[in-house]
Structure 1
Amino acid sequence: MSARRINQALALIGAASLFSNVHAEKLDVRDAIKEALASNPQVLSEMREVDARDREVRQALAGYYPTVDLVAAYGFQEIDPAVSRDPFTGEILNSGPNGRTRNELERGEVQLSMRQLVFDGYKTDYEYKNQQARFKSARHRTKSVAEDVSLQVVRVYLEVLKREAILDIAQEALAFHEDVYNRMKKRHESGAGSKADLDQISGRLALARTNVVTSTTNLVDARSNFQRVVGRFPNEGELVMPGTYRKYLPEGVGTAVERAIVNHPLLDSANADIEAVSHSYEQSKSSFYPSFHIEAQRDINNNINGTEGQVDDLQVMLRMRYNLFNGHADTARKQQFAHLVEKAKEIRNNAHRAVEEETRLAWAAHESLNMQMPALEAHVTNSLATREAYTQQFDLGRRTLLDLLNTENEYIDARIAHQLAWHDVLYHEYRIFHAMGDLMYMVGAKL
């Protein structure tokens, strides 16, 4: 692969950076999380849901207030009554064509009515409590989504840093192979080196160039994922290695699980859903009670029913309504919500299991990687020492080119494995805090 192809691949990173905002300062993981929470569609969608639920609470509160209605009408009324006779003589009393008279009047109506709840079997009370619980559930769900997005930010943030580190390793490996190639080419041209050695280093050099292109593409992909989650491309060298919060981790997995069960917003949301549907169940019982309302109505009518003049009417009533039979619909509705309460409890139980599982998995992954780190660090140190020794021995003619190239590959693989594990240790550390519902709190981010 030519140097021109490598330069084209490296240019992909620069092209991606052209679309990013120019920031003079570094962007740490906390600020990246804050940027994501301020613009991420998932979070904003849940926040709008919270706002909508808040308005539903206000709607339920309106049930305690009176309703006041004003009705007004004005128009024309024409009455053509049947023939009326004197009951004693039989004489036609009304006059006009065919024994009829036509009454034409301009009619006007004004009605002001008020209806105030007195008692409705606690229906309004439980509706208000239901909407409050639904509002609380939406808030906890928004917090849960924000925690998920925060972990996504950590993942893509560390992925960019990981791919940058691997690209640096690949470029160093390429420089090493280019140096060896130039030395072997000079040896071959002077007659001191074999054609086989030159062919071998040529193949390894081509592979090193391919690795640079692959690493560059992986970095571009990582930055694209960063843009999808955070909302913009990271600039060259803008991201910094996050700090560790290892000292704030619980003492053991059992403590972590206990913390997750009492603190995770997903479980808080599920518990609020149980509360909401329980209030709906209690509300369904209101149909078995009578309802009482105070109803007041004032009517001012003019020229109605063919009678010229104004007619006023005032009513103030305590009105009871009591359904005696409606085909057992109320009983069925009560049973429906009883089943929904049990469904909500099972959803909560499933969330409980999922939260505990995620906490245990995150803890196990973190512990496993921590146990691997000393061996990986030793592998890097030993392979570096081996490479340096083999390089000296190769220069003295005591090692073959294949020995030198193999030790270089082992050193590269050791460094890559160490970088992958180190970044994964950090990720799973943040993952544990996410599993406990404490990630945003730990990094100092708020909605």
Structure 2
Amino acid sequence: MEMNKLISNFLVIIFFTFCLSMNASGDDGSQTQKKLTPELSLKNLLIQVINNHEEIKSFKSQVEQAKELYLKSKGLYYPTLDLVADGGREKIDKEYYTDTNENRYNITLRANQLITDFGKTQDIIARSGVSLEQAKARLESSRQQLMFEGIKAYINVVRARERLKSARLSEARIKELTGIEETLVEKKAGLSSDVLQVKSQLAGAMALRVEAQGELNFAKNRFQAVFYHNLSDKEIAYIKNIKFPQKQLPLKLENAVAIALKKNPELLITMYNTQLAQKDIDIAKKAFYPRFNLFAEAVSKENDAGEDGYRNELSGGVELRYNLFSGGRDRAELKSALASKNAASYHTGYVQKIIKEQVSNTWEQLSVLKQRAELLKQQADIVENFLLLAKKERKMGTRSLLDVLNGEINYINSIATSIAATQDTKIAAYNLFFAMGNINLQLFE
């Protein structure tokens, strides 16, 4: 008896230990899910990709380069200090004087400060500033392009996942009804032709499920290409459906166009090209003006030019530099800058028209998709009501099993189509933000 009691107590201890370990394992799984939750939110994914993507890093480096060039151009305002020193052996043969053969050195220290070049330096600095702003616009364009691709990839995973769920549900339901109909035929209560029709629909449902699985695989591949993360099946199941950004959308098409003409990065890049061309014109014109410098110079020589001993020289004053002839290069450069300005202006006008068209078309597409999604939702509600009524009539014997089957398939498919249309509407909304140049992380707060 004592032995049995000891064994029973031992088994109880093992049981409670097992339960505690399962509980701990569940806690770990919960903690893992908590850790997984923020990482797979769309906002965090976008933050990671815009901070780590190679293309973004490339454009950030270009911005840094433009910033340093801007600082370099600002240095033209500051004085310069140059030191030139040379030394060595110097031998001079003289006709009427004593030849010399001595060690010599020559040290020159010269400071220059620009007084005026009639605005050329100012235009050079301004041009560097425009180049910096253009580099920032290129970075913003790349960032918004990458964010839009990420948003589409995320939504398409949700879209494909829901479509696959619907396809699997449809296939499972048809398989269930196929078994019911075969049973009825065996009991001579059903028609063999109904079985064949159900099996035909089953084959179609299986083909739809294969197609939906392929779409999900494509969506996973695109997600991995954008976010550098290969989604597992658990992660796909966890990904949440993002909200439609209704509050952030402009109220009117005119407002959307106005925002695009002000903020679209591609348009800003072309406008900066026009400004750069104008600065090139200003710089080229200043080549026809002189340059005035303030200078101070100190020279120390020893045994220089055959003269024994040292000599120190100090000088200062105003220096004039003026090019009298350059073979027509200055005039040709000015004409080239004028032609470049015209080309940039024409291209800017063209890009403005294209952006207006893109915003208008995107606005219209969003409007159409919103109406379509609403109608498909209404269709799904109607099909659901029909299915409920068909099931009641089936119980009363006024509806065949195939009628109910068709109703269920139509309902499942209408739900899937409605969900897909809703996701397409979201993509169209973010496409409008992209056309306006207004995609940012604040959309997901």
The question of whether the paired residues in 2 share the 8 Å contact of 1:121 and 1:289 is answered with yes
Return the alpha-carbon distance in structure 2 between the equivalents of residues 70 and 296 of structure 1. Answer: 12
Cα RMSD between the aligned structures?
2.8
Displacement after TM superposition at 1:199 (Å)? 4.0
Q: SS of 2:309's equivalent?
A: strand
Q: SS of 2:327's equivalent?
A: coil
Query: C-alpha deviations, 1:426-447, integer Å up to 9, x for none?
Result: 22222223333333164168xx
Q: Residues 116 and 379 from structure 1, CA distance in 2 versus in 1: closer, same or farther, beyond 3 angstroms?
A: same
Residues 118-157 of structure 1 mapped to structure 2, 5 A cutoff: 118-157=115-154
Return the alpha-carbon distance in structure 2 between the equivalents of residues 26 and 108 of structure 1. Answer: 70
Q: SS of 2:297's equivalent?
A: strand
Q: Residues 237 and 26 from structure 1, CA distance in 2 versus in 1: closer, same or farther, beyond 3 angstroms?
A: farther
Q: Residues 36 and 22 from structure 1, CA distance in 2 versus in 1: closer, same or farther, beyond 3 angstroms?
A: same
- Which segments of 5 or more consecutive residues in structure 1 lack a partner in the other structure? 1-20, 86-92, 95-100
Query: C-alpha deviations, 1:216-275, integer Å up to 9, x for none?
Result: 221122122122223323423332121233234333222322232234343334333322
Q: Residues 325 and 78 from structure 1, CA distance in 2 versus in 1: closer, same or farther, beyond 3 angstroms?
A: closer
Query: C-alpha deviations, 1:121-153, integer Å up to 9, x for none?
Result: 321110011111221222233223322222222
Q: Which moved more, 1:265-274 or 1:108-117?
A: 265-274
Count of residue correspondences: 409
Displacement after TM superposition at 1:335 (Å)? 1.7
Return the alpha-carbon distance in structure 1 between the equivalents of residues 273 and 196 of structure 2. Answer: 69
Task: State the one-letter code of the partner of 1:29.
Answer: L
Report the counterpart of residue 246 of structure 2 in structure 1.
246
The question of whether the paired residues in 2 share the 8 Å contact of 1:121 and 1:285 is answered with no
Report the counterpart of residue 259 of structure 1 in structure 2.
259
The question of whether the paired residues in 1 share the 8 Å contact of 2:43 and 2:441 is answered with no
Report the counterpart of residue 210 of structure 1 in structure 2.
207
The question of whether the paired residues in 2 share the 8 Å contact of 1:33 and 1:153 is answered with yes
Q: SS of 1:232's equivalent?
A: coil
Return the alpha-carbon distance in structure 2 between the equivalents of residues 46 and 340 of structure 1. Answer: 25
What percent of counterpart residues are identical? 22
Task: State the one-letter code of the partner of 1:157.
Answer: Y
Q: Residues 270 and 110 from structure 1, CA distance in 2 versus in 1: closer, same or farther, beyond 3 angstroms?
A: same
Return the alpha-carbon distance in structure 2 between the equivalents of residues 23 and 66 of structure 1. Answer: 58
Return the alpha-carbon distance in structure 2 between the equivalents of residues 441 and 357 of structure 1. Answer: 26
Query: C-alpha deviations, 1:161-198, integer Å up to 9, x for none?
Result: 10111011011012112212222333444455555444
Task: State the one-letter code of the partner of 1:41.
Answer: E
Q: Which moved more, 1:155-164 or 1:212-221?
A: 212-221
Q: Residues 444 and 423 from structure 1, CA distance in 2 versus in 1: closer, same or farther, beyond 3 angstroms?
A: closer
Report the counterpart of residue 88 of structure 1 in structure 2.
none
Q: Which moved more, 1:410-419 or 1:387-396?
A: 387-396
The question of whether the paired residues in 2 share the 8 Å contact of 1:68 and 1:114 is answered with yes
- Which segments of 5 or more consecutive residues in structure 2 lack a partner in the other structure? 1-33
Displacement after TM superposition at 1:405 (Å)? 4.7
Query: C-alpha deviations, 1:289-339, integer Å up to 9, x for none?
Result: 111122333222223334432233333242212122222221221122122
Report the counterpart of residue 341 of structure 1 in structure 2.
341
Matched, 1:180 2:193: no
Q: Whose helix proportion is higher, 1 or 2?
A: 2
Q: Residues 118 and 335 from structure 1, CA distance in 2 versus in 1: closer, same or farther, beyond 3 angstroms?
A: same
| TM-score after normalising by structure 2 | 0.82
Matched, 1:108 2:105: yes
Return the alpha-carbon distance in structure 1 between the equivalents of residues 91 and 277 of structure 2. Answer: 56
The question of whether the paired residues in 1 share the 8 Å contact of 2:248 and 2:443 is answered with no
Return the alpha-carbon distance in structure 2 between the equivalents of residues 42 and 350 of structure 1. Answer: 27
Return the alpha-carbon distance in structure 1 between the equivalents of residues 82 and 224 of structure 2. Answer: 54
The question of whether the paired residues in 2 share the 8 Å contact of 1:49 and 1:138 is answered with yes
Residues 225-374 of structure 1 mapped to structure 2, 5 A cutoff: 225-234=222-231, 235-374=235-374
Task: State the one-letter code of the partner of 1:61.
Answer: K
Displacement after TM superposition at 1:66 (Å)? 1.6
Report the counterpart of residue 53 of structure 1 in structure 2.
66
The question of whether the paired residues in 2 share the 8 Å contact of 1:26 and 1:240 is answered with no
Displacement after TM superposition at 1:352 (Å)? 1.3
